[in-house]
Amino acid sequence: MAVVKVPITKGISGHKAVREALRDTSTYSSDLQGDADVRDYRQLPLEVDPPRHHLYRTALSPYFVKPAIERHIPELENIAHVLVTNFFASGVEVVTELALPLVMKNLGVLYRRPQDVAEWISWGPDVWTAGGPTRNGDVLHGYLDRIYEEAISNPEEDIWSEIAVLEIDGKVISQSEFRGIAGVLLAGGRDTVVKLLTGMIWYLGENPKDLAMLREEPELINDAIQEFLRFLTPLPAMARTTTPESSNQDLPIDRYVSISFISGNFDETVFENPYAMNLRREKNPHLSFGFGPHTCLGNHVAEIEAKVFLRTLLSLDFDWKISDQSKIRFYTGDISSVPDQFAEVFLLK
């Protein structure tokens, strides 16, 4: 959950209620300032409402439609094959030695910025702590300002040069809007997918029978990916506001509402035995990509990256177990079997 300006005191949970709230953008607005401790600009199109939200989304959609991602699959497969092979030959810790570099190299391909991959990896799993243990935006903002200036003064054939001159409602975007868009493209395609891939390694290491099942029945891969998304819920919740912040001066302290995606993903009225992973689960209307107008723009990226990664694991025929030295934080209560954070995941191979 992003840091907002005042504490979040209200929440919406349950599959039906969450879907209804995500559709109701007039009651539960996205017009808010998230990560208020580390940035003063809006992430776009996340933190604006329709109809302006639709303008940004329409401009960015061509980069993230399924065919645009699928044409890079051979390159993503090569990255996965090399990194997975090397990791199982000499690697130890999954997050920093496999999942993070793999996701960053994939984004280097998709965004046509291979020259930035080493820098992105150096930020670590959380860009807001790239400069140290305390949350701070200086590292990310220094990068965003630098690539914006490069895109304006010396444009290349990459995503940043194209985004810098995007027109929204007949006007070229500002530097602040560029920050908001580029920041989402880096953060949205980063931490959540790293958690997803790490979680897949963790689960299959703890459940070798399911690993063997997928090898014997590769036709289950698509259903398995959706179940990993449901169970791991890489982004468990997002904030909405009952009072749009850009058009009101009188902002009530209790305006924020937490929309709990994870509660919907473990709703027993929708999912049979939701607290167990079922890689054969066919009906899977999970909320890991949200729902409604703000459904995750990068959902095809995450699904294709996960599919390529899983196919690579299965084809290379590696076996592994999870070391007790791993540092994994789990939720409490009914979902105590579900990982909240993978700080470090060590393998026994």
Residue 125: per-residue pLDDT: 87
The answer for residues whose C-beta is within 8 angstroms of residue 270's C-beta and 6 or more apart is 15, 264, 285
The answer for residues whose C-beta is within 8 angstroms of residue 99's C-beta and 6 or more apart is 193, 194, 197, 198, 201
CATH numbers and ranges of domains, the chain: 10-348 (1.10.630.10)
Residue 2: per-residue pLDDT: 67
Residue 258: strand pairing partners: 11, 239
Q: Which of 236, 199, 241 is nearest to 332 (CA)?
A: 236
Residue 64: strand pairing partners: none
Sole residue written with tokens 């939200």 = 53
Q: Report the C-alpha gap between 210 and 214 in whole angstroms.
A: 6
Residue 39: per-residue pLDDT: 95
For each successive 10 residues of the chain (349 residues), what is the average pLDDT?
81 98 97 94 96 97 97 98 97 97 98 98 92 94 97 97 97 98 90 96 98 97 98 97 91 96 98 97 96 96 98 94 98 96 95
Q: Which of 106, 73, 74, 100 is nearest to 87 (CA)?
A: 100
| Whole-prediction pTM | 0.96
Q: Two tokens at 120?
A: 């992105």
Residue 5: per-residue pLDDT: 80
Count of beta carbons in the 10 Å neighbourhood of residue 291: 21
